[in-house]
Amino acid sequence: MKKPIKKKIFSFINHLTTVVLFLLLASMLFFVISSKASGGEPEIFGYQLKTVLSGSMEPGIKTGSIIAVKPGGDMTRFKQDDVITFMEEDGKLITHRITEVVANGDSVMYRTKGDNNNAEDINPVLSENVVAEYTGFTIPYVGYVINFSQSQNGAFLLLIPGILLIGYAGITIWRAIREIELPKENVKEEEKSVV
């Protein structure tokens, strides 16, 4: 009676390991392909995923989170309290809250501030420098994994689940073939004993 229970437990662990490795490999593959296709930023259904590298918007957006932002549209449409992602002069992306909208003729500028910062940002943001609007969707700590996966060491370590999955698939196929061959050998032996 102990053998069937052990066999069921082993079978369950076997299937669970396969599913976990497959999901991990598929998600990493998705992030790599979407990053390359969109020029470096993963994109899902028109929303870009950005990694938060500072605590300027805490506690709402924690350091190491990934956030979903919606790019495109009229960048002069934003109002006070909207959270926008914009590009600074040095090419760095910042996500901060609008504290004031300054309209001057055809041009629109935004004064911004991080929720966790004591003062507004020094330079106002031109509407042309706004990249996207924050949608309110955030997943804590996943950004650390994405940043690590983009490093050379991270890319190497993320190959390990793929290698494990391929090795495990090979072992499973070998076992299946072996189980198919065993009944054939038994049938041949029975035929020999009958003759």
Instruction: Based on the fold, state whether residues 136 and 46 are members of the same structural domain.
Output: yes
| DSSP for the chain, written as a single string | -HHHHHHHHHHHHHHHHHHHHHHHHHHHHHHHHHHHHTTSS-EETTEEEEE--SSTTTTTS-TT-EEEEEE-S-TT---TT-EEEEE-TTS-EEEEEEEEEEEETTEEEEEEE-TT-SS--SSPEEGGGEEEEEEEEEETTHHHHHHHHTSHHHHHHHHHHHHHHHHHHHHHHHHHHHHHHHHHHHHHHHHHHH-
Instruction: Based on the fold, state whether residues 87 and 168 are members of the same structural domain.
Output: no
54 a catalytic residue: yes
Instruction: Based on the fold, state whether residues 118 and 33 are members of the same structural domain.
Output: no
Instruction: Based on the fold, state whether residues 86 and 2 are members of the same structural domain.
Output: no
Range of the domain at 194: 1-37+151-195
pLDDT digits (tens, 9 = 90+) for 60-115: 888 888 888 998 888 889 999 999 999 998 888 999 999 999 988 888 999 999 99
Instruction: Based on the fold, state whether residues 100 and 66 are members of the same structural domain.
Output: yes
Instruction: Based on the fold, state whether residues 30 and 45 are members of the same structural domain.
Output: no
Query: Which pLDDT band, with edges at 50, 70 and 90, does 15 fall under?
Result: confident
List the catalytic residue out of 35, 38, 54, 149: 54
Instruction: Based on the fold, state whether residues 132 and 45 are members of the same structural domain.
Output: yes
Query: Which pLDDT band, with edges at 50, 70 and 90, does 33 fall under?
Result: low
CATH number, domain containing residue 60: 2.10.109.10
